[in-house]
Amino acid sequence: MNRSKNVEEIVEGFKLMRQHLRGSSCSVSELPLTHSQWLALMVIGRGHLVTIGDVKKALGISSSAATQLANNLEEKGHVIRTPLSTDARASVLVLSSDSKKKFEHMRTKKLKEFTKLFDVFTDDEFSTYVQLQAKLTKSISK
């Protein structure tokens, strides 16, 4: 087995999946957002008591870039900032009710698109894939 060649093929497969999903019907163009803004909304939409520091860490960007993202999202009405009860200098970011609805709609569409990709697998193959992906994810998370 040529592990390096197989890893190269896996990476190419990931790229192809990403390209497919970017070009799918569930693109970010439904909301007037940049890719970075969409990623920030994903972090904010999934979290509880999400701060700018959390956005910074999740996206791997600087504090000033995370602040600028939050400011832009707040100006567009997608995000509401509320002071953190334990530290008045920090604020919690939450989705506005309108953006929460739009975000959930888009997230549901994206999940359907992802789900279609895995229809190629039998139930047994899919189960094996899920186990292998969990193992890989766990090793990366350490």
User: What domains are there in the chain, each with its CATH number?
Assistant: 3-141 (1.10.10.10)
- Contact (CB, 8 A) for 35 and 42: no
Bridge partner list, 81? 93
Tokens in use for 140? Answer: 């990366």
Longest dimension (CA), the chain: 57
N-term to C-term CA, the chain: 27
pLDDT score for 9 = 94
pLDDT score for 23 = 65
| pLDDT per residue of the chain (142 residues) written in tens, 0 to 9 | 899 999 999 999 989 888 877 765 444 456 678 888 888 998 998 878 899 999 999 999 999 999 999 999 999 999 999 988 888 788 899 999 998 888 888 888 888 888 988 999 999 999 999 999 999 999 998 7
pLDDT score for 4 = 94
pTM above 0.75, yes or no: no
Tokens in use for 119? Answer: 């229809």
